[in-house]
């Protein structure tokens, strides 16, 4: 699909973004996709105020009814999957299969959230006091701020937005400056979902929409407004560790809650017992897929010395066959980097690796399958040790190769970086697999066995430790981040015992309320 066809399917016109100071260019070939006017801090503050007003109404809607709005969103996504998936490709550069897969991930989280809307469980707690009951209940929190990155321009929003909506929250979204059009498309689909939803339910529409959801294209100044606003009790932010340090500090300064999904520097250990062909396939997708621009991209490969030569030769052969090209071409596996800055960062990392004793075995050079884009061949780099360049995340398709002898050394190398997002081991040895997943093994939020580091399903909580931020989104019990917990104690007896055996008896000669006339 061409941009005009995509815009017509999603917005009803072929060129909906024709004016504004913020220009959006496709990383595929530099095509101008549209121009729009970014939001200003006063506009952002007003959007937050409207979102707070909408929240005060939305929180009173029963959760299963709130889930019906998300169900309608899922229907809209199913109907518009081809167009939205193609727009993801045009705006972010990932191959069409991945663009469509990202929309499918949105559909999946909608299904999950609809079911969740009937399962926001609390618990009952045994009380030490006679005729007392304790329980925990969960309540909507308020405006949910969402800051997303270019590499997953719509799926990460859906992880947050669908859960926040069924939990009773309103949403203010600041998308990446590089991918605002997909955000506006999602907002349009949610608006259509709202129209279908409102027609079925007696709700104060004027007080709920459009305040229930707002998109604020713009730069870091908009993110700062979200981070500093006391009317945004929870802020989900996806980006670099440096960005997370700034946002997290601003949110913490006002005692807000952060859900941080930050940098990854992911590693895989390949042991002598591994199925090397299976490992090679997983390595290739994890390291080269999305042009190395996933937070879960495989960046460090730790291989046992006895199989290093064999596996390295196999990877070099596979890498030589990878087609780098136009992401709408079905034969393409690797599309463009997002921009020239990303390509320059890749070249700087490769130069540093060489200075630190590394050998570039293949790749790393610029390709020009399409004029106007920044394409690069995925690189394999053999390193003598885990040097400084391997301590940071370079958002590009570079895979560093290290050798190990003892399994304990492999675990130590794996964990000896600041980040802790995703990890994997390939082995047929049950002890190695269990040790890798144990408390003495991988220190990451995701630890896989015989699959790669990328391609997580929405059913599990997604996130990592250390400089990755500690946040969790999507499945499992991640919904709790969007709600506040209340502990309730109910006395259904006629006395007032105190906990821990405390006595507080006092003499009172005044008549009791029941005895007064």
H-run or E-run covering 411: helix 407-415
Q: Which two tokens stand for residue 140?
A: 């909507």
Rounded to whole angstroms, the Cα distance separating 60 from 428 reads 52
CB 22 within 8 A of CB 37: yes
Least Cα distance to 410 among 388, 398, 427, 396 occurs for: 427
261 part of the active site: yes
**Greatest Cα pair distance in the chain:** 96
Strands (E), 109-265: 123-125, 132-140, 143-147, 170-174, 213-215, 234-238, 257-261
Tokens 């590693």, located at residue: 267
Q: Which of 72, 91, 261, 403 is catalytic?
A: 261
CB 216 within 8 A of CB 229: no
Q: Which of 295, 393, 403, 432 is catalytic?
A: 295
SS3 at position 181? helix
Tell me which DSSP letter residue 415 carries.
H
Rounded to whole angstroms, the Cα distance separating 277 from 283 reads 10
Rounded to whole angstroms, the Cα distance separating 105 from 158 reads 8
Crossing angle of helices 96-116 and 155-166, in 10° steps, is 10
CB 89 within 8 A of CB 99: yes
Measured CA to CA in angstroms, residue 212 lies from 27, 53, 104 at distances of: 32, 9, 24
Cα–Cα–Cα angle for 434, 436, 438, rounded to 5 degrees: 65
444 part of the active site: no
CB 226 within 8 A of CB 172: yes
The rounded radius of gyration (Å) of the Cα atoms in the chain is 26
The catalytic site residues sit at 261, 295
């Amino acid at each position: 699909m061409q941009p005009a066809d995509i815009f017509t399917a999603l917005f009803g016109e072929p060129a909906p973004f024709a004016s504004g100071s913020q220009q959006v260019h496709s990383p595929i070939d530099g095509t101008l996709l549209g121009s729009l006017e970014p939001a200003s801090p006063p506009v952002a503050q007003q959007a937050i105020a409207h979102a707070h007003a909408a929240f005060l109404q939305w929180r009173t809607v029963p959760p299963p009814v709130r889930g019906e709005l998300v169900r309608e969103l899922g229907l809209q996504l199913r109907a518009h999957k081809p167009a939205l998936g193609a727009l993801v490709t045009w705006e972010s550069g990932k191959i069409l299969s991945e663009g469509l897969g990202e929309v499918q991930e949105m559909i999946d989280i909608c299904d999950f959230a609809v079911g969740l809307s009937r399962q926001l469980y609390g618990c009952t707690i045994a009380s030490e006091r006679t005729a007392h009951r304790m329980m925990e209940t969960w309540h909507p929190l308020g405006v949910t701020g969402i800051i997303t990155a270019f590499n997953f321009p719509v799926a990460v929003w859906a992880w947050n937005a669908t859960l926040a909506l069924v939990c009773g929250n309103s949403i203010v979204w600041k998308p990446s400056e590089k991918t605002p059009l997909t955000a506006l498309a999602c907002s349009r689909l949610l608006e259509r979902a709202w129209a279908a939803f409102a027609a079925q339910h007696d709700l104060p529409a004027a007080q709920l929409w459009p305040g229930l959801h707002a998109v604020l294209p713009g730069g870091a100044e908009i993110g700062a407004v979200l981070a500093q606003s006391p009317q945004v009790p929870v802020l989900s932010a996806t980006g670099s560790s440096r960005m997370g340090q700034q946002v997290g500090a601003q949110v913490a300064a006002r005692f807000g809650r952060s859900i941080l999904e930050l940098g990854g520097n992911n590693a895989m250990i390949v042991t002598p017992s591994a199925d090397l062909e299976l490992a090679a396939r997983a390595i290739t997708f994890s390291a080269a897929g999305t042009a190395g621009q996933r937070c879960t991209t495989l960046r460090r490969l730790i291989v046992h010395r006895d199989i290093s030569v064999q596996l390295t030769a196999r990877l070099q052969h596979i890498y030589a066959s990878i087609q780098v090209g136009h992401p709408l071409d079905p034969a393409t596996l690797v599309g463009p980097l997002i921009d020239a800055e990303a390509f320059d960062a890749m070249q700087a990392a490769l130069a540093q690796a060489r200075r630190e004793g590394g050998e570039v075995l293949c790749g790393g050079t610029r390709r020009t399958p399409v004029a106007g884009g920044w394409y690069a061949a995925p690189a394999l780099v053999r390193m003598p040790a885990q040097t400084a360049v391997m301590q940071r995340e370079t958002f590009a398709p570079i895979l560093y190769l290290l050798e190990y002898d003892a399994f304990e050394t492999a675990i130590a190398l794996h964990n000896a970086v600041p980040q802790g997002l995703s990890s994997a081991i390939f082995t047929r040895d049950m002890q190695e697999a269990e040790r890798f997943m144990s408390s003495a093994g991988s220190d990451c939020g995701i630890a896989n066995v015989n699959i790669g580091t990328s391609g997580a399903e929405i059913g599990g909580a997604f996130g990592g430790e250390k400089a990755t931020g500690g946040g969790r989104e999507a499945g499992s019990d991640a919904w709790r981040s969007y709600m506040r917990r209340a502990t309730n104690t109910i006395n259904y007896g006629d006395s007032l015992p105190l906990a821990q055996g405390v006595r507080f008896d006092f003499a009172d000669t005044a008549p009791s309320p029941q005895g007064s006339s």
